[in-house]
Amino acid sequence: MKEKNDSKVSIEQISVGQFKNFCYLVQDIDSGESAIIDPAWEVEKILNAMKEKSFRLKFIINTHSHMDHIQGNPVIKKLTGARIVMSFKSLAKKDIGVKDGQELNLGSNVRLRFLLTPGHSPDSMCILVNDLALITGDTLFIGECGRVDLPGGDASELFDSFEKIRRLDPKLTVYPGHDYGAKPSSTLKEQIEENYTLLRRNREEFIRFMNEP
């Protein structure tokens, strides 16, 4: 379990499941209003982490609708009444379908901005937490990126998503959807400079690169 705090917001990273998933708990410290991102697998472990901090869960957010990121939704929604948030493109069960650039708030201190980043899946999105962190799901890992050979994957769309990500503040901490890298988090600057999947390529080169065996 890894946690990042400033005076107003807490971001807790929890490792769960056999596929090295990361689940995230984001909280407005003043109000206690919170969101859980990509709850799956070890739901009891996630619930215990929430209880330790007296979470008032407002949103269940999924970076995309693959089962290893949404499996915990029904149990947590039943226990808390929190609303499920996904990309409006998602066909999975949700309460709020967000569009690119849409924002939701936790208390008065935490702003969650949603960036639609299709490529790994049609409904993939990243979540910008204030000016602190970017939670990337399976769009971008530390030193890697999400595959595009699953149903709905599209290398050309991922190219556009990477262009969007490159324009963000390089000081952002990148929190991925899986623990596939040398460390659990990084800065966007480090990823732009060191992640070979983010090397500058034109669209045709990138599509060819992503579709290599």
Could you tell me the pTM of the whole model? Answer: 0.95
Q: Where are the domains of the chain?
A: 2-210
Percentage of residues in the chain having pLDDT higher than 70: 97
Amino acid letter, 155: A
Confidence of residue 158 (pLDDT cuts 50, 70, 90): very high
Q: What is the pLDDT of residues 61-90, one digit of tens each?
A: 999 999 999 999 999 999 999 999 999 999
Half-sphere exposure of 193 (CA within 13 A, CB side): 7
Q: CB-based burial of residue 45 (10 Å sphere; 0-12 exposed, 13-18 middle, 19+ buried)? A: middle
- What is the predicted pLDDT for the residue at 80? 94
How many whole angstroms separate alpha carbon 137 and alpha carbon 196? 18
Q: What is the pLDDT of residues 100-131, one digit of tens each?
A: 999 999 999 999 999 999 999 999 999 999 99
Percentage of residues in the chain having pLDDT higher than 90: 89
- What is the predicted pLDDT for the residue at 5? 64
Residue of 90, 56, 61 lying closest to 73 (CA atoms): 61
- Answer whether residue 4 shows pLDDT above 90: no
Q: How many other C-beta atoms can be found within 10 angstroms of the C-beta atom of residue 96?
A: 15
Four-way CATH pick for 2-210: 3.40.50.12280, 3.20.20.70, 3.40.50.150, 3.60.15.10: 3.60.15.10
The alpha carbon dihedral of 42, 46, 47, 48 has a sign of positive
- What is the predicted pLDDT for the residue at 1? 53
Q: Say which residues have a Cβ less than 8 Å from residue 186's Cβ, sequence separation at least 6.
A: 142, 173, 174
